[in-house]
Amino acid sequence: MARPRALLPQTEAVRALMDAEGRLAVRVTPGARMEALEIDGDMLSAKVRARPEDGKANEAVRRLIASALGVAPSRIELLRGATSREKQFRID
């Protein structure tokens, strides 16, 4: 059985949350039943299936944000929060 597609907000809505330097604040929920990005106030909320082991959840969030923005995952860098639920990414 195929996995359901991730629920993603509009690209413009995600870009509106980025600051002038291209930074994006994200609150992550690892081990979720389905993958999704949601806008929660001035922050992006990411739900990923991956567990927080060996950076797997961080990589899943990177790929999810890249998909929402239509950019390559290599253009997204984790700046802060490698072991925290509150993370900050920079998009080039």
Q: Which domain CATH number covers 57?
A: 3.30.1200.10
Tens-digit pLDDT profile for residues 7-52 = 999 999 999 999 999 999 999 999 999 999 999 988 999 999 999 9
- Name the domain count of the chain: 1
Residues whose CB falls within 8 Å of the CB of residue 17, separated by 6 or more in sequence, listed in order? 24, 25, 39, 42, 43, 44
Residue 1 confidence (pLDDT) above 80: no
Residue 51 belongs to a domain: yes
Query: Can you give the residue range of the structural domain that contains 16?
Result: 11-91
